[in-house]
Amino acid sequence: REESKGLDLERLQGAIKNSQIFNGGLENTKKIEGEKTTFKLPSEETIKRLTEEAITNFDKTEQENKRFFENKIDKPNLETPMFGPHMLTDNRSLEINKPGQIIAETTETIVQAVRGKQERKSLSSQDRKEIFDIIQGVTRLPTIPQCPYLAVIDCSSAVNFRTNDGSCNNLAHPYWGKSFTPFERYLTPEYEGSGTTLPRITGVAGSALPGAREISTTVHTASVAPDNLTPPLSYFMMQFGQFLDHDITKTAISKGYADSNIQCCGNPFRRDCFPINVPLADPFYMGNIDCLNFVRSTVTPNLDCSFDYRQQLNELTHYIDGSSVYGSNDMELAQLRDGTTGKMKTSTGNKLPLDIPNGSGCASLNNLNKCFLAGDKRANVVPGLSSLHTIWVREHNRIADYMMDNNVQWTDEEVFKNARKFVSAEIQHIVYKEFLPKILHPIFMFIFGLNPLSSGYFTGYNQNVKGIIRNEFSTAAYRFGHSLLRDHSFFDSTPHTLHNQFNNPDLVHQPQGIEGCTRGLYSHTSQGIDELLTPEITNKLFQTAPFNGGDLAAFNIQRGRDHGIPPYSKIVEACFGSAFVPTNFNPGVFGGLIFHSTTAASKLSSAYSDPADMDLFTAGTAENRMPGMRLGPTFSCIIAAQFKALKDGDRFFYESNVANPFTASQLNSIRQTTMARVICQNTDITSLQKDVFYRDHPITNKIVNCNDLSPLELPCTPENGGWTGWMRTSACIARRSCTNPPPNDCGTPCVGISIKYLCIHNPATIGPVKSKQKI
């Protein structure tokens, strides 16, 4: 990937500071008033009738889904080709989907009807509120579940610790950042025909947009080139990136009858279907298949229970809170916690607990070993990911053990909550200190206020900031990570073809499986970030037999259209202002593709007929990297803004002085945390490079001995040592020991002598023995 050499960083910095996204994105602008209404809304009667029709349609679709299931067209998970764990949808999402779908259909019908031939972008907020109030009246029929975000949440017990589902982080807005709530957006979505719900399929010039698979084969062509900057990114970067994603985003996908998987190929007009066409002349599939199955994400009303545009649902707690370790709701945590010692459950070899065969978290298709259960359902997707989940569960248990030993009066609950508090703080520290600076230019780190402090507390908590994931981030920008993937994963130095490792926990089950997978990550190099992807994911994603695999790039593009993600040029404008918006495909110049190289621009111009049509994932990954950095400006903008919201809007942010803050010395200790240390303390690995996100380097990133990495200081209630009675151990000697009780790590040792010479006067004093240790 070329560096954007001519990029005027000062100008870019000025532009971003004035931009819509930097200044709050939709927080300030989405509450668009829309244009003034120039037409009349249909009568209340008509709206009611339309809603009732939508309810009937919904029920009909459910019946139709049942038939597809009975006819074995829609299959259960393990019989579904291209099945991936991202297709496991929680029942709660499906419950929310029902009112979501009904309101979506009604709103769309009304919008299209009232718009008529008028050139209008959207209904005014007044119109939308009016329509919604009427629909709510109808959906209050007993058969239709209520809008899920009306119930009042009591936050009185959530003042000092995070809740399991992320609710009550913001005490004024308990739903912000909770699991099973909608994604926010930076920009107003763009659905087909300026509507509210159908995926974008028509370009600005009125002709069909290019298909997602064609874009993938034209732009996201094959590459095996490793990151060639110094020091190169290690493959651990990829793995941590995915682990972090699985803490903050999981979009609920629509399901068929009895949790089956909707088959859209051959049935493109079914509700929730948006299949991807594969041309006959496809360079890989070569006529073996003509369609990739693609099922739309579920629908949810807005968090304020209004409905304007189709919105999508995040099943995870939006905050960086270790939910990939603990789960995103009470039920998930209950399955994972041992419930007596403050620890998390483990299985043989101190690995993750095993999932029940074919269980919800288990998508194993091609092996006999059982899958693992973790806080996120996708934990088995590649062995490196399962290993990282394991390391964090071990870190929790290590801390919990220490706390149990050193705070004798603490209950299971107290040990658990305090250990989780430390673990999520460590994860957050690693994200902001080690991970983000590898992808975000120092200027972005600085202007978005992302750098951790070196001392003192962060005082920027702002309860008006939404600690909510933005749709543009999860559906496009943060998927940059797919570009880091290589053709192989590594077990120590042995390469394993990637598609054989999908949903296959065999390597993790091996003795020293966690060590082998983890060494395989930090001692190999990632690919660089660009539009080039390995064919293992663009042709063989979740492949189990020839030609039954999928194309992740095409899925990303299609998902963007499914979610109404505005095209690239709209995001560029929101990040940097209109001067940077491309109106032609000329590379490197204002008015053209200012952020793209000649090669990228020529690929983009052969894929798209108009720059205004370019999909965000495609044009974003194809950008030149920022000078001295690895990521292009537009994704940097979205990612920086998102991590700012996750910091400023998190009442429990680890450096923050707001809610049950760490003591100054604990915070200093957490600031010494590195990913390398967490690996060292929870595996048999004894040496590794200091910064595992980079490859090792003899000067800039030396291999260090694990013992040299600074330990973590944990809370401890002092328990002072007490002497035993004197015991005569020989004719002339009596001894006592400081074991009644022994002092714990923060207790005071016994004072006085432990040995007495009874025959000759000798004031020898041999002090107590227990040394103070940190863990």
Q: Which residues bind ligand HEM (CB under 6 A)?
A: 84, 86, 238, 241-242, 245, 249-251, 381-382, 474, 478-479, 481-482, 484-485, 552, 555, 559
Question: Using CB under 5 A, which of the segments 267-275, 293-301, 311-319, 574-582 binds Ca ion?
Answer: 311-319
Residues involved in catalysis: 246
Q: How far apart are CA 284 and CA 410, in angstroms?
A: 60
Q: How far apart are CA 363 and CA 357, in angstroms?
A: 9
Task: Kindly state the tokens that stand for 617.
Answer: 């994932």
Least separation, in Å, of the C-beta of 322 and Ca ion? Answer: 7
Residues 290, 483, 240, 25, CA torsion sign: negative
- Residue 323 binds which entry of ligand HEM, Ca ion, none, CB below 5-8 Å type-dependent: Ca ion
Question: Using CB under 5 A, which of the segments 197-205, 270-278, 317-325, 584-592 binds Ca ion?
Answer: 317-325
* Sole binder of Ca ion in the list 90, 321, 573, 745 (CB under 5 A): 321
* Sole binder of Ca ion in the list 108, 184, 190, 247 (CB under 5 A): 247
- Residue 238 binds which entry of ligand HEM, Ca ion, none, CB below 5-8 Å type-dependent: ligand HEM
Residues 538, 542, 548, 554, CA torsion sign: negative
Nearer to Ca ion, 163 or 263 (CB): 163
Give, in degrees to the nearest 5, the angle at Cα 679 between 673 and 685: 135
The size of the interface with Ca ion (CB under 5 A), counted in residues, is: 4
Find the helix or strand (DSSP H, E) in which 643 lies. helix 633-648
367 Cα distance to chain centroid: 27
Q: How far apart are CA 314 and CA 295, in angstroms?
A: 16
Least separation, in Å, of the C-beta of 143 and Ca ion? Answer: 33
Task: Kindly state the tokens that stand for 400.
Answer: 């919990």
Nearer to ligand HEM, 82 or 581 (CB): 82
Least separation, in Å, of the C-beta of 560 and ligand HEM? Answer: 9
Q: Check if the beta carbon of residue 552 is closer than 8 Å to that of residue 541.
A: yes
Least separation, in Å, of the C-beta of 187 and Ca ion? Answer: 24
- Residue 538 binds which entry of ligand HEM, Ca ion, none, CB below 5-8 Å type-dependent: none
Task: State yes or no: cis peptide before 718, omega within 30 of 0.
Answer: no
- Residue 86 binds which entry of Ca ion, ligand HEM, none, CB below 5-8 Å type-dependent: ligand HEM
Q: How many CB atoms lie within 10 A of CB 639?
A: 21
* Sole binder of Ca ion in the list 139, 196, 234, 323 (CB under 5 A): 323
Least separation, in Å, of the C-beta of 602 and ligand HEM? Answer: 27
The packing angle between helices 235-248 and 513-522, to 10°, is 110
Site residues (CB under 5 A) for Ca ion, limited to 6-45: none
Nearer to Ca ion, 334 or 589 (CB): 334
Nearer to ligand HEM, 429 or 488 (CB): 488
Cβ neighbors of 766 (< 8 A, separation 6 or more) are 753, 754, 755
- Residue 603 binds which entry of Ca ion, ligand HEM, none, CB below 5-8 Å type-dependent: none
User: In angstroms, what CA-CA distances link 38 with 58, 483, 588?
Assistant: 32, 47, 43
Q: Is 145 exposed, middle or buried (0-12, 13-18, 19+ CB in 10 A)?
A: middle
Interface with Ca ion includes 364 (CB under 5 A)?
A: no
- Residue 84 binds which entry of Ca ion, ligand HEM, none, CB below 5-8 Å type-dependent: ligand HEM
- Residue 276 binds which entry of ligand HEM, Ca ion, none, CB below 5-8 Å type-dependent: none
Q: How many CB atoms lie within 10 A of CB 134?
A: 22
- Residue 383 binds which entry of ligand HEM, Ca ion, none, CB below 5-8 Å type-dependent: none
Nearer to Ca ion, 188 or 323 (CB): 323
Least separation, in Å, of the C-beta of 483 and ligand HEM? Answer: 9
Nearer to ligand HEM, 247 or 610 (CB): 247
Q: How far apart are CA 676 and CA 547, in angstroms?
A: 39
Q: Check if the beta carbon of residue 514 is closer than 8 Å to that of residue 683.
A: yes
Task: Kindly state the tokens that stand for 569.
Answer: 């040029």
Nearer to ligand HEM, 397 or 474 (CB): 474
Residues 326, 514, 361, 82, CA torsion sign: positive
Give, in degrees to the nearest 5, the angle at Cα 570 between 568 and 573: 110
Residue numbers in the known binding site are 482
Least separation, in Å, of the C-beta of 182 and Ca ion? Answer: 15
Q: How many CB atoms lie within 10 A of CB 7?
A: 18
Site string for Ca ion, 274-303 (x = CB under 5 A): ------------------------------
Cβ neighbors of 71 (< 8 A, separation 6 or more) are none
Q: How far apart are CA 172 and CA 311, in angstroms?
A: 23
Nearer to ligand HEM, 132 or 555 (CB): 555
Question: Using CB under 5 A, which of the segments 126-134, 219-227, 247-255, 703-711 binds Ca ion?
Answer: 247-255
Least separation, in Å, of the C-beta of 378 and ligand HEM? Answer: 8
Site string for Ca ion, 113-132 (x = CB under 5 A): --------------------
Nearer to ligand HEM, 127 or 247 (CB): 247
Based on its alpha-carbon atoms, the radius of gyration of the chain, rounded to whole angstroms, reads 28
User: In angstroms, what CA-CA distances link 691 with 523, 688, 696?
Assistant: 11, 8, 8
- Residue 484 binds which entry of ligand HEM, Ca ion, none, CB below 5-8 Å type-dependent: ligand HEM
Q: Check if the beta carbon of residue 162 is closer than 8 Å to that of residue 178.
A: no
Residue numbers in the known binding site for heme b are 482
User: In angstroms, what CA-CA distances link 304 with 53, 181, 184, 308, 473?
Assistant: 24, 11, 12, 11, 21
Q: Of 652, 664, 654, whose CA–CA distance to 456 is shortest?
A: 664
Question: Using CB under 5 A, which of the segments 322-330, 464-472, 482-490, 520-528 binds Ca ion?
Answer: 322-330
Task: Kindly state the tokens that stand for 530.
Answer: 């660009």
Question: Using CB under 5 A, which of the segments 111-119, 321-329, 406-414, 607-615 binds Ca ion?
Answer: 321-329
* Sole binder of Ca ion in the list 4, 136, 181, 317 (CB under 5 A): 317
- Residue 522 binds which entry of Ca ion, ligand HEM, none, CB below 5-8 Å type-dependent: none
Least separation, in Å, of the C-beta of 248 and ligand HEM? Answer: 8
Cβ neighbors of 55 (< 8 A, separation 6 or more) are 102, 138, 139, 141, 143, 144
Least separation, in Å, of the C-beta of 351 and ligand HEM? Answer: 19
- Ranked by CB distance to ligand HEM, the top (closest) residue is 481
User: Where do contacts with Ca ion occur on this chain (CB under 5 A)?
Assistant: 247, 317, 321, 323
